[in-house]
Amino acid sequence: MEINRRRFLRTGGTLTLGTVLAGIGGSIYGTRFETRMLDIESVRIPLDGLPAGLEGFRIVLLSDFHISEHTSLEFIEEVVSVASSFKADLVVLLGDFVLREVEAVFDLAPALAKINAKHGIFSILGNHDIWQGAPTVAEALERSGLKVLVNEGLTLSHQSERFFLAGVDDGWAGHPDLNAALTSRPSDVPVFLLAHEPDLADGFAADGRVALQLSGHSHGGQVRFPGFGSPFCPPLGRKYDQGLYRVKNTWLYTNRGIGVTVPIRLNCPPEITEVTLVRGD
């Protein structure tokens, strides 16, 4: 396993004078700057039994757009441009497209549909999408060609090798059903699961069929303290709040998201993730 970080602006510091000044300069920095300082995480994940033809398969992860006055369409378009530059094999959108105004998804979806991906763009819904109107969000995404997976999956092929991409319903506001999502899965192919909340991994990993789970939801807490982490992560996003984890025999990656629910990020910038799959055995 290898993780490389490229950040447009790197931040650091300790809980000393910086903490004292956080109420003044920190709040200005966190609200005006870091919310748009896009971070690119490049992650190599070794999967046991990965077919040879899937060696080097690349997946771009985007999550938690929360399009609103805090996360503008202009910024989303910048994100789309960067994401497209990877020319990934697959792009996955991990839920929470809206914040309060559900109709905003009709502006967001066409922008996201412009991302370059060899095998397409697939999406799941998050808790905010369900709270504000899942049918509307799903309609907008499907209308733009962004397939929505709700307790369902499909078999895809790459270089004559197959894999199964599945998505479950939201774990907080919906009814995730892994068995339903894997109903049509061939028995001899790896399963890549999209699940909005990362902490669902404990149950999904125990099932034994999921090789890789990709999640968002937590935003990394939006505000993180060096040496401590974040006390602000939401339910089902506290245990595995950012980055790469091994949960039993399942790999889990939690993306920090693009948008915010409150207009601040500190030591926790918005993230695009590029996952590269390699053979682990």
Q: What is the pLDDT of residues 52-102, one digit of tens each?
A: 999 999 999 999 999 999 999 999 999 999 999 999 999 999 999 999 999
C-alpha gyration radius of the chain: 18
Residue 13 is which amino acid?
G
CA distance 4 to 115: 22
Q: Beta-carbon neighbour count of residue 12 at 10 Å?
A: 7
Mean pLDDT of 19-41: 66
Q: Check pLDDT > 90 for residue 22.
A: no
CA distance 224 to 244: 17
CA distance 278 to 281: 9
Percent of the chain with pLDDT over 90: 87
Q: Beta-carbon neighbour count of residue 153 at 10 Å?
A: 23
Taking each helix axis as running N to C, give the angle between helix 105-112 and helix 127-143, from 0 to 180 degrees, rounded to the nearest 10.
60
Mean pLDDT of 218-242: 96
- pLDDT recorded at residue 119: 97
Strand-pair partners of 209: none
Q: Check pLDDT > 70 for residue 124.
A: yes
Q: Provide the 8-state DSSP code for 88.
A: B
- pLDDT recorded at residue 239: 98
How far from each other are the two terminal CA atoms of the chain, in whole angstroms? 12
Q: Check pLDDT > 80 for residue 28.
A: no
CA distance 275 to 141: 23
- pLDDT recorded at residue 33: 79
**Class of residue 70 by CB neighbours under 10 A (exposed 0-12, middle 13-18, buried 19+):** middle
CATH, domain range 2-279: 3.60.21.10
Q: Which strands, in side-by-side order, build the sheet including 2-7?
A: 2-7, 39-47, 271-279, 58-62, 90-93, 121-123, 147-148
Q: Check pLDDT > 50 for residue 148.
A: yes
Query: What does the pLDDT look like over 42-66, one tens digit per residue?
Result: 999 999 999 999 999 999 999 999 9
Q: Check pLDDT > 90 for residue 10.
A: no
